[in-house]
Each structure stands twice: as C-alpha cells, then as structure tokens.
C-alpha cells in the first residue's frame, strides 16, 4: 500500500469510527457491535504504525491512551471559572427571581407579570472542565483548579469517548466549551466490585473517582475508567448566539454531548416544577446529580446583571436536600486510624439511600454515641452528609426495644489490645501503641508516601500492606532498606514494578524539608504548620533542641501542637527512625535556595487576599507572604495590616476594610513591597 492509499484509508476509517463513536456515546444509539468497532480500530492503529507520519492528534486511535504525563502544567483560564451561589428552598428561588427582575430595572408592578426566560440544567456531580477548540479540533483541556487557573489534562480528556476530537457542522473557528466529567454509576460499581475482589480499597464515590482518574499519569488507565462528559456552556469572542439555550443546541449539532434533560423555562413557576420533578427522578439516572443549575437565558440580560466577586448574578444552583431514611443498627465496630484515633462505625441493615445501598455509617466518637444515645437494635435515622458520607443523625425512640442496653464505648484497641487513652479537650480515644498497632503502622506509611508528603506514587496501599505482612517494613525508615531482590519474590511484583518502587524511593530523597516534616506524621502537624515550623527553625537539629516556650513562639504552634512535637521527639523509637531517615539521605534542613529566598520583610504583618489577580494566583501570593515572614488570614479584622485586593473584590470585605481604615494594596504595590 502506498502512502497516498494509506492516507485515504486512514481518513475513511477515522470518519467511520468517529460516526460510530458519536452514535454510541452521544446519541446512545449503537449502529455496529463492539467486536466490529474493535476490528475497525485495530485496522486504523495498524495503518498508523505502518505510516507514522500520517498519525493525527485527532485520530480515534488517540482515545485508547498510552501516553504518560509526569506533571500537569498549570494554565490560566481565559475566562475565570466562577462558582455559583447556592439555594436550598423555594423561598430562595423566588428571592433569586426577584433580584434578577430588580437588577434588570423592573418596576414593582411588573415583578409578577413579565416572565423571565430561564434555562434549567441538572447539576452534575463530577469534575468541571474547560475544552478549547480551534478549527474544529480539540487543542486543550483544563480543569477548573482555583477558578483562575487549572491543570492541563488534554491527553486524558482525549480518552473520553463523549468528548469530540473533531467537530462537524457550522462551528466557530475558535471557542471554549465547559462541562462536567463524571463517572457513570454502573462503571463506578463495577470498578469497586473488582477492587473488592482483589483486596484493594474501594473508591469513596463517583465524583472523587472522576477527579482522581483525570489526574492519572497513564492515559491508558484513564481510558479504562470509561469516564463520560456533559457539556453546558459555550464561550468565545463574537459568537453568533443571543441566548444560552440557542448556544447549547448549536453545540449539540457540532457533536457535543448535551444533556437531554436541559429545559427552557418561562418564569419561576416552571423552574420550580422542574426542580420538584428532578428532586424525585434524579435517583433513576445512571449518574449522580446533586441539584439544578438555573441560568437567565438571554446573554444581553446576563451582561446587564453582571457578577459579584464570587459568582454571576444571573445564575444560581439549587441544591437538593439530603435524603433521609430509617433502618436498624445491627452492630458497632471500631476502626483504628494512622494516628491511633478510634472511629466507631455503625453497621446497618442495608437500606437504599441517595441511589446507593447504605450498610455502614459514621458515629464519629464516644460523645456522639452518648449524645444520640444510640443502642444496638435501635431504628436510626441515616442521612448522607453532603450527599456522600452516610451519618446517623438520630434515633426513633418510639421503636426502641425494652431490653436495649446502653452502648459502652470500648476501652482497649480492637487491633492490638492496648488500653485506649483520651487526652483532655479531645473528642477521640487513641491507641498509644503507635509503633506496633498494624493499622497505625500501615496508615503512617501510607501517609508518608502520599502525594502531598513524599509523593512516592509507585507505592500504593495494597503494596504497603503486602510489604508489611511479609515483614519487610515495620516503619517508614524500613522503606529505604528495600532492595529489588527482596521485592521480586513477592506475589504480583514483576521486575518493572520492583524497579519503579526503588526509583521512586530514591527520587523522594530530594523532597524538601517542610514536606518531610509533614510526612513523618506527627499528630496535629498538618501541611501549613509543617511549612511554618520548617521556615522558622531551618533544620530538624534546631527543632529537636527547642524548649516548649520557643515552640509556642512559632506561628501556628499552640499548646496542643507543642506538646505533640515534644512527645514525638522524646520517643526513643521515633528518634531512631529519624536518625535512619537522615542516614538514608532525606532532607532535614532547608535548601540553600530556600534560605536565600526567605526574608523578614513582612514580619508581624497580617494580610487578607481578596479578588481576582492577573500576575500570580492566590496560592502563589500566600506563599510569597509566608516566605517573607508575613501571615495570611481569611477574614478582615483589627489585626489585619493590609488587604491585597484584586479585581472584583468582595463588596462586604471592601466595606469592612474601609470602615477599619485598612490599606488596600494592588498587585504592583505588594510586589514592590517585597522586592
């Protein structure tokens, strides 16, 4: 076959595959069998391998994945991805309609006569994404991030079958379209069933699963997760649309998957009918939705209404109330966390709730059990907190059995038998046997290797348990004694896996001091506190010799954290582990760059950041403030020294800053201050 013939055949196969793909994943109307589709795809891939110069970035073969993305680049959004205000009642919605009318200058006698056109859409529970198309081809996919900038995930987005790689019809030369990536419930349930069978931890919910999948480094693994995507917002310069509904119908004609449930409503009464309908029918869907998004349809009216600092005035999200059910409490079991904290768990008679079958619910701690007076055999009321984690919110005392005995909280660890302790002022009981209690040992190692700590992604929870059960690791220092020849005899540990693990451990030796301090898992020392301590003390050797008074002088360190630090470093076993980690080559002091970049320019100054920025994002400004000795605060008070104010600063914060006489700094003024 000549190159010209191959090119013609590749174009034919690509067009055919995209048509079948659109029919199946967007129109839900399969026209050929999976087997026939796979044969066509295999033929295309074979030709592209034979003629690699003919491989296109928008080829259907790119949906299979296979590319590895080690780091996801941060990209600034051309249009900020703002969040929506939430509403929870009919009264809230009527009030929203009133504010829309008043914002458009309606007189009082018009408020209930003229009907505003709204578009109602299901609020999908997944990961917000922005797709950018040029000349009908997908060129970039960006997650929402902080609203100002997000992560580029183009390679992974191409594996989603409902995201078109090439458009058809009369589309604009360049535009952006936003939507929600989600994991369908049947896919989520199938993956969890498989994970359960092979002993892996199940995923918590479809939303987290979709979000985590989109940040996987191997796009082939992303492809296997069978994510889906609804699109709902077209953006760009000089687009030929007068209304939102018109724009999404046009997007549908270009090949995008637009929810069939979106509806154009005339007036608030039709909006309320739509909400009431889906409050019941949402459980029949194959994907999760936690509310309804309501938008003013006319773009000109949207522009007139404008934005607040955080959200548009022309749109709102109605959040469904958490569903509540009653079921029997069968038993109470107790779980041990990585810090030794004991969490009581209610084992329930299975009951449908929010589209899933609930068998367990959190009871939090001994005080909650006492407050609710929960007893085995009780009929309890269960609710999904935030539509995700089930929790018991009460007891139906009218159905309590006469012989129901008061719940006695355990006094010994269910895993290792150690006597539990409870510190004054703390809600949880703790197992003190931190170096030998299995869940604590494994949990601490899992924390140590996690992404925000040492970031050893080649070492997952299942592998840690396997290594622990094999007696190869009993603490985090043991990780750095691992050798490939010790790993290879383990089940499911091939040459490549073993080498990746060793390579990951070696790379972790470059992780900076503040993350190492967070990784070793001192109780109450989170990321922010570890960063503050590291910046102040500069090295672990200095930290080890600080008195309680000197510890308390560090920003973010109070009595509880100071006591926790003292107890941790007084423990002989912990001292040995730290010394071994030092010998392994981990960073226990700030690097030269960190020493040089840090200043006391902003010492004793407290900043509040508000608004949208152009030169750096909020997190970067927070780091600059901390790096130069300043302190960040989320709210304005008399203690606030300056407000770093960007565009669209919140009116309430502006008003409070002015009333307290607090100076507002522009980006340029702040950057000049720390030069």
**pLDDT per residue as tens digits for the range 639-653:** 899 999 887 777 778
In the numeric block, which tokens belong to residue 635?
């709210």
In the three-class reduction of DSSP (H, G, I as helix; E, B as strand; rest coil), residue 411 is classed as coil
Q: Tell me, what's the pLDDT at 406?
A: 94
Q: Tell me, what's the pLDDT at 387?
A: 44
Q: Which of 358, 357, 393, 356 is nearest to 378 (CA)?
A: 393
How do residues 124-147 score in pLDDT, each as one tens digit?
988 999 999 999 999 999 998 878
Check whether 278 has a pLDDT greater than 90. yes
**Domain 438-510 identical in fold to domain 513-596:** yes
Fold adopted by 513-596: DNA polymerase; domain 1 (1.10.150)
| Annotation says 123 is catalytic | yes
- Residue 501 CA to its chain's centroid (Å): 26
Check whether 111 has a pLDDT greater than 50. no
Strand partners, 316: 294
pLDDT tier for residue 468 given thresholds of 50, 70 and 90: very high
**Domain boundaries of the chain, sorted by first residue:** 3-64, 86-94+96-317, 324-399, 438-510, 513-596, 598-673
171 contact partners, CB below 8 Å, separation of at least 6: 133, 136, 254
| Percent of the chain topping pLDDT 90 | 42
Check whether 461 has a pLDDT greater than 60. yes
Element (H, E) at 633: strand 631-633
What's the sign of the alpha-carbon dihedral 122, 127, 128, 129?
Answer: negative
Strand partners, 664: 643
Q: Which of 471, 466, 449, 483 is nearest to 586 (CA)?
A: 449
Options 3.40.50.10310, 3.40.50.2300, 3.40.50.1220, 3.40.50.10190; CATH for 598-673 is 3.40.50.10190
Listed range (158-167, 211-220, 323-332, 620-629) with the worst mean pLDDT = 620-629
229 with 257: CB under 8 angstroms?
A: yes
Options 3.40.50.620, 2.40.50.140, 3.40.50.1220, 3.20.20.80; CATH for 324-399 is 2.40.50.140
Options 3.40.50.720, 1.10.287.610, 3.40.50.300, 2.40.50.140; CATH for 3-64 is 1.10.287.610
Q: Is 438-510 a CATH 1.10.150.20 domain?
A: yes
pLDDT tier for residue 119 given thresholds of 50, 70 and 90: very high
Mean pLDDT of all residues in 552-579: 87
Check whether 571 has a pLDDT greater than 70. yes
Angle at which helices 3-25 and 34-50 cross, to 10°: 150
Q: What is the mean pLDDT of the chain?
A: 86
Catalytic residue, candidates 123, 166, 295, 319: 123
Check whether 231 has a pLDDT greater than 90. yes
- Beta strands 228-235 and 389-395, pairing class: unpaired
pLDDT tier for residue 24 given thresholds of 50, 70 and 90: low
In the three-class reduction of DSSP (H, G, I as helix; E, B as strand; rest coil), residue 665 is classed as strand
Check whether 307 has a pLDDT greater than 50. yes
DSSP secondary structure code for residue 204 in this structure: S
Cα-based torsion angle of the residue sequence 353, 356, 358, 360 in order, rounded to the nearest 10 degrees? -130
What is this structure's pTM? Answer: 0.52
- Of the CA atoms within 13 Å of residue 399, those in its CB half-sphere come to 14
Cα-based torsion angle of the residue sequence 243, 249, 250, 253 in order, rounded to the nearest 10 degrees? 180
Task: Scan for tokens 């907190």, then name that residue.
Answer: 385
């Amino acid at each position: 076959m000549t190159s010209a013939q191959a090119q013609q055949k590749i174009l034919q196969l690509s067009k055919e595959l995209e048509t079948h793909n659109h029919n199946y994943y967007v129109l839900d109307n399969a026209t050929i069998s999976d087997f026939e589709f796979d044969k066509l795809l295999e033929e295309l891939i074979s030709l592209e391998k034979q003629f690699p110069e003919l491989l296109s970035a928008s080829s259907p073969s790119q949906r299979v994945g296979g590319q590895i993305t080690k780091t996801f680049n941060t990209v600034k959004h051309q249009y900020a991805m703002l969040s929506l205000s939430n509403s929870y009642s009919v009264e809230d919605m009527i009030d929203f309609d009133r504010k829309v009318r008043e914002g458009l200058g309606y007189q009082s006698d018009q408020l209930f006569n003229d009907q505003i056109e709204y578009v109602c859409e299901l609020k999908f529970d997944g990961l917000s994404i922005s797709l950018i198309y040029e000349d009908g081809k997908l060129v970039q996919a960006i997650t929402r991030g902080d609203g100002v900038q997000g992560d580029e995930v183009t390679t992974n987005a191409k594996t989603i079958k409902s995201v078109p790689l090439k458009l058809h019809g009369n589309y604009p030369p360049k535009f952006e379209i936003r939507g929600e990536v989600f994991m369908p419930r049947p896919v989520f349930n199938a993956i969890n069933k498989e994970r359960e069978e092979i002993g892996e931890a199940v995923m918590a919910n479809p939303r987290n699963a979709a979000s985590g999948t989109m940040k996987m480094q191997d796009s082939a693994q992303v492809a296997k997760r069978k994510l889906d995507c609804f699109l709902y917002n077209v953006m760009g310069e000089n687009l030929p649309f007068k209304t939102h509904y018109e724009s999404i119908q046009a997007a549908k004609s270009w090949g995008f998957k637009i929810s069939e449930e979106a509806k154009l409503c005339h007036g608030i009464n039709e909006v309320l009918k739509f909400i009431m309908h889906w409050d019941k029918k949402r459980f029949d869907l194959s994907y999760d939705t936690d509310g309804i998004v309501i938008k003013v349809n006319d773009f000109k009216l949207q522009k007139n209404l404008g934005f607040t600092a955080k959200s548009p005035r022309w749109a709102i999200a109605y959040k469904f109330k958490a569903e509540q059910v009653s079921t029997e409490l069968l038993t109470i079991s107790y779980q041990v966390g990585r810090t030794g904290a004991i969490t009581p768990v209610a084992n329930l008679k299975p009951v449908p709730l929010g589209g899933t079958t609930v068998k367990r619910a959190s009871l939090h701690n001994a005080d909650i059990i006492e407050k609710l007076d929960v007893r085995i055999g009780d009929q309890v009321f269960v609710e999904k907190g935030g539509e995700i984690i089930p929790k018991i919110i009460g007891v139906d005392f009218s159905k309590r059995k006469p012989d129901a005995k008061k719940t006695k909280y355990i006094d010994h660890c269910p895993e290792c038998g150690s006597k539990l302790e409870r510190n004054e002022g703390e809600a949880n009981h703790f197992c003190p046997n931190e170096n030998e209690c299995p869940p604590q040992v494994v949990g601490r190692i899992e924390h140590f290797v996690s992404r925000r700590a040492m970031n050893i992604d080649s070492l997952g929870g299942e592998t840690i348990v396997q290594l622990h059960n094999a007696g190869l690791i009993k603490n985090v220092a043991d990780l750095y004694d691992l050798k490939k020849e010790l790993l290879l005899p383990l089940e499911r540990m091939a040459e490549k896996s073993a080498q990746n693990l060793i390579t990951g451990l070696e790379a972790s030796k470059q992780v900076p001091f503040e993350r190492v301090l967070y990784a070793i898992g001192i109780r109450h020392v989170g990321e922010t506190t570890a960063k503050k301590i590291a910046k102040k003390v500069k090295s672990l050797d200095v930290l080890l010799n600080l008195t309680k008074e000197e510890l308390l002088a560090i920003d973010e360190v109070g009595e509880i954290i100071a006591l926790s630090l003292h107890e941790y470093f007084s423990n002989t076993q912990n001292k040995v582990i730290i010394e071994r980690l030092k010998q392994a080559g981990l960073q226990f002091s700030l690097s030269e760059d960190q020493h040089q970049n840090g200043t006391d320019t902003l010492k004793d100054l407290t900043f509040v950041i508000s608004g949208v920025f152009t030169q750096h994002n909020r997190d970067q400004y927070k780091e600059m403030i901390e790096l130069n000795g300043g302190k960040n605060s989320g709210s304005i008070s008399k203690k606030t020294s300056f407000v770093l104010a960007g565009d669209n600063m919140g009116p309430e914060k502006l008003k409070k800053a002015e009333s307290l006489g607090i100076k507002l700094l522009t980006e340029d003024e702040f950057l000049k201050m720390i030069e």
